[in-house]
A = this chain, B = another copy of it.
């Protein structure tokens, strides 16, 4: 027997769909910073467990129009699409784009290929789920190999910025695998060249001023 969706008795500016490891990390961080969100999750056991841990989570299928309305989609500002299944997450995003076009969408994607689908739907704030973590591990590798911590961090954030820009360019080639491979190869070479140039320019007199800017720029790469 399917459990009935919970009645929702709160509305916030942010709706957060999917409260697994990915979504719950976001929910915890936002709450710690004073931003409440209306949280939906469709995993019955998980909802019960999360409640025991002190979270206010509503059980229900976020791809359902009536549930989205009950969660305040008409008046909210932003939807965070963080469902574990890329297919269901894409379905949610497609519904929201159609019925609540005013909502800004922050989208989780499993990998490059999911991200291309989201780009086709007109979504720009796309976060490939292992991208930032793998780059942060690599930043720490650089540090252990003798790079200054600050430099390594800056280079990591630049790398992500280039990679996200390349993603939008590569999206159009993905249906022809041969052409796609050629273009990926070109993008990787260009990316390495840009990062190497950064290495040189960071050794110039402007080093210090230049150094602080990417810390801001690095987090804005998704907001075009």
Contacts and interface: CB of A to CB of B under 8 A. Distances in A.
A31 B145 CA distance: 13
How many copies, total?
Answer: 2
A141 B35 contact: yes
Contacts of A78: 141, 144
A134 B32 contact: no
Contacts of A132: 132-133, 135-136
Contacts of A131: 21, 25, 133
Interface stretch (A63-71, A92-100, A152-160): A152-160
Interface string A163-196: 1000000000000000001001100110110011
A145 B35 contact: yes
B104 A219 contact: no
Given A49-B181, A80-B137, A111-B21, A188 B142 contact: no
Interface residues of A, number: 72
A2 interface: no
B54 A188 contact: yes
A47 interface: no
Given A131-B133, A220-B149, A191 B138 contact: no
Nearest to A24: B134
A129 B127 contact: no
A215 interface: yes
A206 B14 CA distance: 32
Nearest to A187: B53
B133 A128 contact: yes
A188 B28 contact: yes
Interface in A100-118: 104, 106, 108, 111-112
A76 interface: no
Interface of A: 13-14, 21-23, 25-26, 28-33, 35, 49, 52-54, 78, 80, 82, 104, 106, 108, 111-112, 125, 127-145, 147, 149-150, 152-153, 155-156, 159, 163, 181, 184-185, 188-189, 191-192, 195-196, 199, 215-216, 218-220, 222-223
